[in-house]
Structure 1
Amino acid sequence: MAPTVAIVGAGPCGLTLARLLECRGVDYVVYERDESEVSNRRGGSLDIHAGTGQLALKEAGLFDEFKKHARYEDTSFTIANQQGERVFRKNAGQGRDAPEIDRILLRQILLDSIPKEKVRWNHVLKSVTLEQDGHHILQFTNGSSASGFKLVVGADGAWSKVRPSITPAKPQYSGNHYIESRINPESPHYPTMVSKIGAGSFMSLGSSKEIVTQRQGNGSYRIYLGVTVPEDFVRGGTVNLEDTESTRRLFLSSEYFGNWAEELKDLIRYSEDFRSWPLYYMDPETLRWDSVPGLTLVGDAAHVAVPNGEGVNCAMADALSLASKIATYGTDALNRAVAEYEEDMFRRGVEHIKDGLQMATLIRHKDGPDALISFFETAMENAAQASA
């Protein structure tokens, strides 16, 4: 007998759903593209919010384990202009309950909470087809297939292979790229970073570009160079990220960050292991469909957005909402559970996408950080008034 629910994707969203179904006694299986739980994929640090990600972890019985590894000191946040002048600072503990945790570590906490036999590694989904009996067949690139599930949940990210069976909508390129790199504790520049940047995140804005620095759980710093470039900027050969020196020279040129403060250019001079992260989002107008029996989407598969600090939290809220609806209506009324979950998800997803687009506009504003700071200050004032 096939499990009741198939979850495609073992990221934080898919594994949160798996754990919540485990707690509720619903049979499931997770299919994951990685060859094993020792993943080679990179993942930065995630801030887990009280009303969404943390709530899901509490419902999953994992909040105490999360707190053992959560970095509350890394909630500090600084904004500077391109001359390196610090113009905004929010210290850790100043009313923001969003501790950081490395994505890989969060994934491991979730993996450790479900039986190992529930995860099928090395299963890259190729396609989803519909059987005559109404069930869906999952076809994998390793030649295997699986079917008989009452529900298939696509938790397989922005380029979901489950999505085409539900909606023709596809992610679209935002026009922006992050070029990601890192500075490790072994770097000669590391002591300077510790003294000047310290814990948390540091964002420098100017000339419609950005440099973001974020401390990781092992003490290293992840660097993101935010630039507006064509979609094929890397694939088309404009930059060869495997050539570290030429990549540094390109981004230190006048076309990119050449006229920025020396302190900020040092973040490029000492960066290593450059990688590309083009930013995509779903058109919020397309985030609605007639519910398809036996199929649904969660997380980025449903509503990928440009970064706004809410991505994993919105995804974990999806997992909690879907698991709760399944628990309410039971596995014999999954279509009703899914339909109600999707109505909840559509509202949350549209807001998430629009927030991401607004944040991108503020971050890349031609006047530098002033627009973003004004936004933050207004948000803090509104929050203070709401709590008064």
Structure 2
Amino acid sequence: MPAPSIAIIGGGPCGLILARLLECKGIDYVVYERDGNVNSNRDGGSLDIHLETGQLALRQAGLFDAFQNHARYDDMALAISDQHGKKLFELGQGRENPEIDRRELRGILLDAIPKDKIKWGHALSSATSSKGDRVVLRFANGVVASGFKLVVGADGAWSKVRPLITQATPKYTGKTYLEWVIDYSHPLYEKTAGKVGAGSLISIGSGKNIIIQRQGNQSYRAYFGLQVPEILFRNGTNDLQEVEATRRLLLSDFYVDWSEEYKDLIRQATNFRAWPLYTLSADDLGWKPVHGVTLAGDAAHLAYPGGEGVNLAMTDALELASRIAEHGIEDLNRAVQEYEADMFPRTIEKILESTVMADVMYSNDPKAFLHCIGA
């Protein structure tokens, strides 16, 4: 049996919306996803889907009504405070960028794609070029696949497809989040719900931040934003399983000058997950087109998280699918060239904006963040 025309590596929002758009256009494809099955979804937080980018892709994919069933417009509320808990700014819910849990968005996309188009349990080990410029995919489960006319790397920050196009690799930003979840059963839940309510609270001061965000199941995720060496929470330097030791570290070395209500978040934390932040620079974009392969989403333009990542990725998928439909399978090189020419300036701008955002998020002055967002 001949290989499908297009192989999509990665079953996140970018890869799945691309698959759905190709499905709508009658273009053959296959998605390779590292998760073992549909029920082994990695946990994730909440995503804000923007009107002219992510929502547009969902409309073109015929999935906007399904999205509306899960979209949380009330969670667009945003409050900014200083490290002492004083609120400096509050933004209401009259915007058009609703939140949706990553898990819910993935479910919508999976339901819209034929089950036989997704190959579960296929973690890509390497992608190499063969004779005739065809890409050979080797997976950790021993499967080797080739014969595709186009391979799309939508496989995230540590893309195994990226080396076919560029030697660029993500660089550590010097910043890490420690995350934990406050659910209904936690003693701090009622106090947190009373403080934050719907949406998010961002507190900034002394070169650090704390973000608390409500999720679709009404739990809250708390993120402690730190400027730390890359190895501090890796390789056993600080074992996050030792919760009490992590609490002591945060209280003594990082949040000693923050108010007691924030210290209580630390004192009563029950678990932590480290999220070191990496980025590609604007200089990493602008590679020469490579026959039979391209990148999308974080694989192409990983940036500091600021609400644009998933929206840029879904726009990539929409633009690429549109170019492929316009030029056809027999002229994929032209489709990819036009897609990349559009993608570079669009994403370079957002990478630069995210760098500015990172600077003010980890500043001593929350008012600098307000200025950055135009408040």
The two structures have a TM-score, normalised by structure 1, of: 0.95
Structure 1 residue 92 and structure 2 residue 78: aligned?
no
Structure 1 equivalent of residue 17 of structure 2? 16
> 2:246 maps to what in 1?
247
Deviation at 1:197, TM superposition (A): 1.0
Q: Which runs of 5+ in 1 are unaligned?
A: 381-388
How far apart are the structure 2 equivalents of 1:182 and 1:267? 11
| Change in CA separation of 1:29 and 1:40 when aligned onto 2, cut-off 3 Å | closer
Give the RMSD, CA atoms, in angstroms: 1.0
Give me the whole-angstrom Cα distance separating, in 2, the residues matched to 1:269 and 1:115: 47
Q: Is 1:314 paired with 2:312?
A: yes
Q: Deviations over 1:281-328 (max 9, x none)?
A: 111112111100100000000000011110000000000000000011
DSSP-derived class of the 1:267 partner: helix
Which residue does 1:353 correspond to in 2? Answer: 351
CA contact (8 A) 1:183 1:270 kept: no
**Match for residue 149 of structure 1?**
148
Does structure 2 retain, via aligned residues, the 8 Å contact 1:223–1:271? no
**Is the counterpart of residue 223 in structure 1 residue 222 in structure 2?**
yes
Please tell me the residue identity of whatever aligns with 2:68: K
Question: Which amino acid in 1 is paired with 2:308?
Answer: E
| Equivalent residues of 2:357, 2:372 under 8 A apart | no
Q: Normalising to structure 2: TM-score of the pair?
A: 0.98
In the TM superposition, 1:1-388 aligns within 5 A as 1-93=2-94, 96-253=95-252, 255-366=253-364, 368-377=365-374
Whole-angstrom CA distance in 1 between matches of 2:177 and 2:323: 37
**Secondary structure of the structure 1 residue equivalent to 2:355:** helix
TM superposition shift of 1:39:
2.5
Q: Deviations over 1:222-256 (max 9, x none)?
A: 11100000111111434211111211121122x20
Indicate if the aligned counterparts of 2:41 and 2:103 stay in contact, CA closer than 8 A.
no
Give 3-state SS (helix, strand or coil) of 2:345's partner. helix
Identity of aligned residues (%): 56
Corresponding pairs, count:
374
- Counterparts of 1:68 and 1:27, CA distance in 2: 29
Alignment-mate amino acid for residue 298 of structure 2: D
Does the aligned pair in 1 maintain the 2:74–2:198 contact within 8 Å?
yes
Native 8 Å contact 1:19 1:114 kept in 2:
yes
Q: Within 2, Cα distance between the matches of 1:229 and 1:359?
A: 18
Structure 2 unaligned blocks of 5 or more:
none
Q: Distance in 2 between matches of 1:176 and 1:184?
A: 26
Q: Distance in 2 between matches of 1:106 and 1:237?
A: 34
Deviation, structure 1 residue 40: 4.7
Rounded Cα–Cα distance in structure 1 between residues aligned with 2:41 and 2:321? 29
**Is the 8 Å Cα contact of residues 135 and 148 (structure 1) preserved in structure 2?**
yes
- Could you tell me which amino acid in structure 2 is paired with residue 316 of structure 1? M
